[in-house]
Structure 1
Amino acid sequence: MGIRWQHIALWLAFIVFMLALPELVSKGTLRTIIFANFLAIFAISWDVLSGRTGYISFGHPFLVGIGAYTSAILSYRFGFPIAASIPLAVIATMIGGTLFFLPALRIRGSYFALVTLAFMELMYQLVQVIRPDLTGGTRGMSGIETITRGAVNNYYLSFSLMIIIALAMWLVMKTRLGTALSAIGMNEESVRGSGLDTTKLKLAAFMIAAFIAGLGGAFYVHYLGSIAPRALFDINFLFTIIVAALIGGASTIIGPMIGAFFLTFLLEYLRPVLPGAERYFIYGGIALILYMYQPKGIYEVAKQGWSRLRAARAGAGP
């Protein structure tokens, strides 16, 4: 699939709008958008593997956690500069994730999902009991060095990271690799029958997903300035990532971004009414209704709406 000038124009318009946003909204709203930017990164990472290939992963916080904990430990415990700890965290995520997930790539369906969920639970238990002097045990770590301060600076940093990843993945998915991964999601046996090595293709998708998850996790922990296993490996965090990708529009790159912003603001606006975990039932119900109405997500709803608008304008013309 080629790259249309209309798509480039839309990307540029989105970037210009987002760059101007700090002048239009409050600092509190900016902080909400920062979380949306990071959720978008995690959802894009999940979408590259699961949205494209159909291998539904329930262990994505496992990858995010490796990146976050590695960078936090290196910078907080050993005094590594952030410029060194983040790249090392990304490498550790790709290596550690591959050692665990590679055997799982040979299975699929519910078995793959259960194996990945087991890895997340394993990571949750390990960071609490193995070397708590390094990981902080159940209490985690606080006082971790931050990259920058202030809502505006962190907004521009998180947005820059998110848009670079999104654009890079959008371009990658326009290549033959992206086409092959989508084909695996539709019919893996046909792809294998065509002579392509599906294991290598899935490994490539996983390595890209691990790279993004590790990078996002490392930046995320240096934004928060703290890390705790209960928050990072919480089941709500896992399903927020998955739901963001699904209701936004899986296998589109743009869809997970839409879903991340939709869910982040939905949860934030529900907080005053339902301050506890009850609000997750509300957002889950809304997400279910949206997904039942249009399985391809909000992106497809918007796309169909735009097509109808153009058709109506064309019909009203001379």
Structure 2
Amino acid sequence: MNLRWYHFAAWGALIAAMLLMPRLVDLGLMGRGTLRTMIQACYLAMFAISWDVLSGRTGYISFGHPFLIGIGAYGTAILSKKFGVPVELSIPLAVLITMIGGLVVLLPALRIKGSYFALVTLAFMELMYQLVQVIRPDLTGGTRGLSGIKTLTRGAENGYMLAVSLMLAVALGCWLLMRTRFGTALWALGQNEEAVSGSGLSTIRLKAMAFLVSAFVAGLAGAFLVHYNGSLAPRAMFDINSVFTIIVAALIGGAGTILGPVLGAFFLTFLLEWLRPFLPGAERFLVYGAVALVLYMYQPKGIYAIIEGGLKRLWGRA
């Protein structure tokens, strides 16, 4: 592992900021609504990390990530609400279903490249949206979705601590995984797949492993999110804006870095919240899209590269 000092500095700063946030709210320095915004940012960060593991490393751009998130969310919601399975068991089962179901459906798509892969994943997301409405609506809730789902926490602070703990565990685990030989192989796969294949490594196996890790994170985050919200609606789950928000968060934060998508998720979430009083409608997405475009043009490697460069300059001056 090539662990530089600024990596530890970044992780230390992130963990400290996350843990101090409730204290700042208690002191009145921030509103209690900030915690709820942070919770949404944590779940978006996990979705962006999930996308980054697959697309940010291998270069296989997925437009259907809510397909995986939806399997995890619907899986635990149906198991716990309709069949009375304890949440402690329904969440792991939903994650397992996400990994198996997603791999069976999308593994053939990993044999194609470029825009074809992106279109196939987008088609699967739309197919999932249609299926949950027409197949067994007594289980899925049809077009109305599901409500009255058991929640895991009560109160903004408890929900925040759960979301932050889960997000930090996922982010740190994926970051460490990407610093192994497996992560290096995925990066090489994104640079030159033919060279990786010529070196004797199985590109299909590497992509399948990356997909499994991505599906695990997506299913886990989707399952916990539905037990935070207590409800589930198909249109909100499979909205095209959700896809773009996940991708933009990963790209402007810094794709292929794990920590970058976390930064991008928090940046986007708070940007949308700050714009809400001025632009309550969909115009907010136009503004954040313009901001993301300018930032991406200024630094294609994202916010992570900007912060990394700043820390290097400070260290050089010191």
Could you say whether these structures have the same fold, taking a TM-score greater than 0.5 normalized by the shorter chain as the test? yes
Partner of 2:28: none
Could you say if the C-alpha distance between residues 6 and 299 of structure 1 is closer, same or farther in structure 2, counting changes exceeding 3 Å?
closer
Q: Tell me by how many angstroms 1:6 deviates.
A: 4.8
CA–CA distance in structure 2, aligned partners of residues 63 and 155 of structure 1 = 23
Partner of 1:275: 280
Partner of 1:227: 232
Q: Which amino acid aligns with 1:287?
A: A
Partner of 1:20: 20
Q: Which amino acid aligns with 1:189?
A: E
Q: Which amino acid aligns with 1:275?
A: P
Partner of 1:111: 116
CA–CA distance in structure 2, aligned partners of residues 295 and 253 of structure 1 = 16
Q: Deviations over 1:34-75 (max 9, x none)?
A: 000000000000000000000000010000000000100111
Q: Deviations over 1:126-172 (max 9, x none)?
A: 00111111111111011110001100000000000000001101110
Which of residues 129, 143, 153 in structure 1 aligns to 2:134? Answer: 129
Q: Tell me by how many angstroms 1:5 deviates.
A: 5.2
Partner of 2:47: 42
CA–CA distance in structure 2, aligned partners of residues 198 and 61 of structure 1 = 25
Pairing 1:241–2:246 present: yes
Pairing 1:29–2:26 present: no
Partner of 1:11: 11
The structure 1 segments of at least 4 consecutive aligned residues displaced by more than 3 Å after TM superposition are none
Q: Deviations over 1:241-291 (max 9, x none)?
A: 000000000000000000000000001111111111111111111111111
Which of residues 284, 304, 308 in structure 2 aligns to 1:303? Answer: 308
CA–CA distance in structure 2, aligned partners of residues 91 and 98 of structure 1 = 11
Unaligned runs of 5+ in 2: 26-30
Equivalences for residues 1-318 of structure 1 within 5 A: 1-4=1-4, 6-25=6-25, 26-311=31-316, 313-314=317-318
* RMSD between superposed Cα atoms in Å: 1.1
Could you say if the C-alpha distance between residues 156 and 254 of structure 1 is closer, same or farther in structure 2, counting changes exceeding 3 Å?
same
Q: Which amino acid aligns with 2:137?
A: P
Q: Percent identity of the aligned residues?
A: 70
TM-score with structure 2 setting the length: 0.96
Could you say if the C-alpha distance between residues 289 and 19 of structure 1 is closer, same or farther in structure 2, counting changes exceeding 3 Å?
same
Q: Tell me by how many angstroms 1:309 deviates.
A: 2.8
CA–CA distance in structure 1, aligned partners of residues 6 and 192 of structure 2 = 31
Q: Structure 1 residues 1-10 or 202-211, which shifts more?
A: 1-10
CA–CA distance in structure 2, aligned partners of residues 188 and 51 of structure 1 = 14
Q: Deviations over 1:208-254 (max 9, x none)?
A: 00000000000000000000000000011111000000000000000
Q: Tell me by how many angstroms 1:9 deviates.
A: 4.6
TM-score with structure 1 setting the length: 0.96
Q: Structure 1 residues 280-289 or 299-308, which shifts more?
A: 299-308
Q: Deviations over 1:64-90 (max 9, x none)?
A: 000000100111111111001100000
Could you say if the C-alpha distance between residues 262 and 13 of structure 1 is closer, same or farther in structure 2, counting changes exceeding 3 Å?
closer
Q: Structure 1 residues 284-293 or 212-221, which shifts more?
A: 284-293
CA–CA distance in structure 2, aligned partners of residues 235 and 307 of structure 1 = 38
Q: Tell me by how many angstroms 1:11 deviates.
A: 1.9
CA–CA distance in structure 1, aligned partners of residues 13 and 61 of structure 2 = 33
Q: Which amino acid aligns with 2:162?
A: L
Q: Which amino acid aligns with 2:85?
A: F
Q: Which amino acid aligns with 1:266?
A: L
Q: Deviations over 1:86-122 (max 9, x none)?
A: 0000011001101111000000100000000000000
CA–CA distance in structure 2, aligned partners of residues 298 and 222 of structure 1 = 31
Paired residues, number: 313
